[in-house]
Amino acid sequence: MIEIRPFDSLGHADHGWLNAKHHFSFAEYMDPDRMNIGPLRVWNDDAIAPQTGFPPHGHRDMEIITYVRRGAITHEDNLGNKGRTEAGDVQIMSAGTGIQHSEYNTEDETTQIFQIWIIPNRDGHAPRWETRNFPRGENVGKLVMLASGRPEDKDADIPIIHQDAALLGASLKDAQQVTHTLSTGRKAYLVPSSGRLRINGAIANERDGVVISDESEIQIIAEGDAEFVLADLP
């Protein structure tokens, strides 16, 4: 089953410096039919104005993945990590027992990100932060693992998240296609960060949400150049 959640149907909050769309219930947006899919709890589509951002604040017991669609985000935390993640890259933070961090757009243009929260398999993991490149350049046309906690991926050279879930991404040229297999009982959530996709025959436009269940194989075809992020979930 393929369920398309059009971008215009998502929750919305405009704070001036932050214009956010919420794929799932978050803050003042509440929809009992859009609470989570398995451990996937948050997928926010944020536009952050130049020279603004999130001041220091705390998280705990959550796997937080930030994919930068446009611009760049600068992270700093109380573990001593500091880094600038540019468009096309991903940062992965395990909040674990607790972490204080800030995220600022220090650029002269609006930064656009997906921020994805996954509930961990248990409380109390050690906090950490790292980054990973999104599949562009020589990886165009390939579905690439960005982070995973699935048992079958434990030996892969990728950032680990503390959950039986995986985050994958692909950049596709017009008419290119990739296929992803879902194990029995698993679901997926997919968002085109740019462009238009045909997913097992259903059309998803840029920034729509796509719930995928009861499908053993997902065939994804680009209609024009496109890029997407997919979460494989228990």
Q: With b meaning 16 or more CB within 10 Å and e meaning fewer, what string describes 176-211? A: bebebebeeebbbbbbbbebbbebeeeebebbbbbb
- pLDDT for position 158: 87
Q: Which residue has the tokens 């228990």?
A: 234
pLDDT at 155: 78
Determine how many CB atoms are found less than 10 A away from the CB of residue 27: 12
Which of 174, 147, 126 has its CA nearest to residue 67?
Answer: 147
- What CATH architecture is 2-233? Sandwich (2.60)
**Predicted model pTM:** 0.95
Express each pLDDT in 53-77 by its tens digit. Answer: 999 999 999 999 999 999 999 999 9
Q: Would you write out the chain's pLDDT as a tens digit for each of its 234 residues?
A: 999 999 999 999 999 999 999 999 999 999 999 999 999 999 999 999 999 999 999 999 999 999 999 999 999 999 999 999 998 889 999 999 999 999 999 999 999 999 999 999 999 999 999 988 775 667 889 999 999 999 999 878 888 999 999 999 999 999 999 999 999 999 999 999 999 999 999 999 999 999 999 999 999 999 999 999 999 999
